[in-house]
Structures are given as C-alpha cells and as structure tokens.
Amino acid sequence: MVMKLASLRSAQVVLLIAALAMPLVAQWKNLPMNGPKKADGSLDLAGPAPKTADGKPDFSGIWEQADLKYFRNLAVDMKPEEVPMRPEAKSILQARTNGALGNQEPDANCLPQGVPKINGAPVPFKIVQTPNLVMFVYEAFNLWRQVHMDSRELVDDPNPTWLGWSKGHWDGEALVIETRGFNGKAWLDTAGHPASDALHVTERLRRPSFGRIEMQITIDDPKMYTRSWTANEVLKLVTDTDLYEFVCLENERDLKHMNK
C-alpha cells in the first residue's frame, strides 16, 4: 500500500519539493573548511570524524539528507505490511493517500514540520555543538531546535509543541536524542504517516567519517503504532557554503494550487 501511495502522491510531492527546494545560492565565498585533507588539498570526506575539546564526537557542520526518499516516506525501507500501524493510523494514512488532504499538510500552510520530518527536508541544516547544548539550525522554515545535554528531565505533561522538547546523552560515540511533548499535528513524512501527542522520537547519530552522519530514527507512538519502528537515514556534509534564508510565508503562492 505504501508503494502505491508513493506513486499516487508523486504529483503532490513534486509540488512540495518545488516549494521547498529553493536554489542553494550561498552568499559567502571562499569559505575555509577545516578538516582532513587529501594530497591535492581538498577535503577528505572519508577521513576521520573530528572530536571536541572534551573528547566527544563533534557533529558540527552543515548537513543534508543523502536520499530524499525518507522525506517522502519515512517507512520506505519497510514492506508496507511491516509498518505496525493501528487501524486509526491506517485510516488517516489512507485518507491522506489520495492527495486530497495535501493542502492540510502543516508545512504547506507554513507551519513547522515536526520531528523527525524536518531532518529529511531537501534543504540543509547546521548542527552547532557546545558541551551542554547541541543546536539544530534548520534552513527549512528558518527553525531551530535545542537538545539539552545536561541531566534535566522532561515533566510528565509537557506543553504540546510542534518540535517537542529534546534532551540528549552520549552512548559511546553515538549522540542519542529523545524528543517528546508533541502536539500530534505534524505528519511524519509527506506520505502522511500520522503521529499523535504520544509520539516519542529517538534520534541516534553517529559520525563514522568526516563527511557522513548515520541517523537512526525510532518512532514510538503507542496511539498510532503497535510497536516502535525505525528508519536509517544518512546525512552528507555540505562543504564550502552556508545556510540560506527561508521565509515560507512571504508571497506564498503554492497552497491555492494544491489539490481540489
């Protein structure tokens, strides 16, 4: 069903990508990139990942999705029957599958893409790392996320939000980020896999080489799925450039052309 869904919605996806993929025109030139170099002086993206002063893996840099398929369908690597959807999740996905609800997708209305969808957007984001705080700065929708690395705990009944409340910890070389406290309005992908306010997202980031982050995303939402499920995304380092300004609402002409 999910494969069929992808083709049914391809027109809408194209629209969405047209809306999101603004030309990547950087304003800064000749940016020096620190990192391992090849003999010819160019960056060695296969070289070792850097460490921070306190010996932790350093995820700093500008990153983008290696494959946009997860943006379209977070469960793309699973067989449709393997996605453990509850009946209500199936009916929501089915309603969104025919494309008629595309104009309800939050980002089509300039509302924030939630976590984890925002990681998959076809524009880059920057990770800024300090010992107690890791920050994601997203070109998409000009948004940011804070990941607290101290010992704080989230309250039992957090104020519902689009991007949730994130705290992180180290598991060896992996940065593990737990996010809860969602409002249940965001879609997990443009296909429309739903999430509720019970959503709990775990992002597990590893940087095996200078140019690559492996990001394992686990969706745990007992109201929508019978068990947790996982997607394995890859991020590529984007070199010699910087983020660009993204203002969704300014002169927005797409929504009226979507569906109906």
Partner 1 sequence: MRALSGLCILCLCLPPLSAQWLKYPTAGIPRNADGTPNLSAPAPKTADGKPDFAGLWRQANGVKYTVNLAADLKDGAPLLPAAATEYKRRQDTLSKDDPVGHCNLPGVPQVNAVPYPYKILQNAGQVTILYEAVRTFREIFIDGRPFPPSMNPSWIGYSVGHWDGDVLVVETRGQNDLSWIDSGGHPHTEQLVVTERFHRINLGTIELETTIDDPGAYSKPWTVRYNLTLMPDTELIEYVCTENNKDVEHLVGK
Provide the binding-site residues for partner 1, judged by CB under 8 A: 25, 27-29, 31-32, 53, 60, 109-112, 126, 128-130, 132-133, 135, 137, 142-144, 146, 148, 150, 152, 154-155, 158-159, 161-163, 165, 181, 242-243, 245, 247-250
Instruction: Give the nearer residue to partner 1 in terms of CB position, either 107 or 233.
Output: 107
Instruction: Give the nearer residue to partner 1 in terms of CB position, either 60 or 104.
Output: 60
- Burial of 42 per CB tally in 10 Å (0-12, 13-18, 19+): exposed
Least gap, CB of 115 to partner 1 (angstroms): 12
Whether 106 contacts 187, CB under 8 Å: yes
| DSSP state letter for 85 | B
Least gap, CB of 37 to partner 1 (angstroms): 18
Nearest to 107 by CA among 122, 92, 95: 122
CA-to-CA distance for 114 and 106, rounded, in angstroms? 9
CA-to-CA distance for 72 and 120, rounded, in angstroms? 9
Instruction: Give the nearer residue to partner 1 in terms of CB position, either 23 or 87.
Output: 23
Least gap, CB of 114 to partner 1 (angstroms): 11
Instruction: Give the nearer residue to partner 1 in terms of CB position, either 39 or 249.
Output: 249
Print the SS3 string covering 52-75.
Answer: CCCCCECCCEEEEECCCHHHHCCC
Q: Say which residue the tokens 């997990």 belong to.
A: 188
Least gap, CB of 229 to partner 1 (angstroms): 26
Instruction: Give the nearer residue to partner 1 in terms of CB position, either 45 or 137.
Output: 137
Least gap, CB of 153 to partner 1 (angstroms): 9
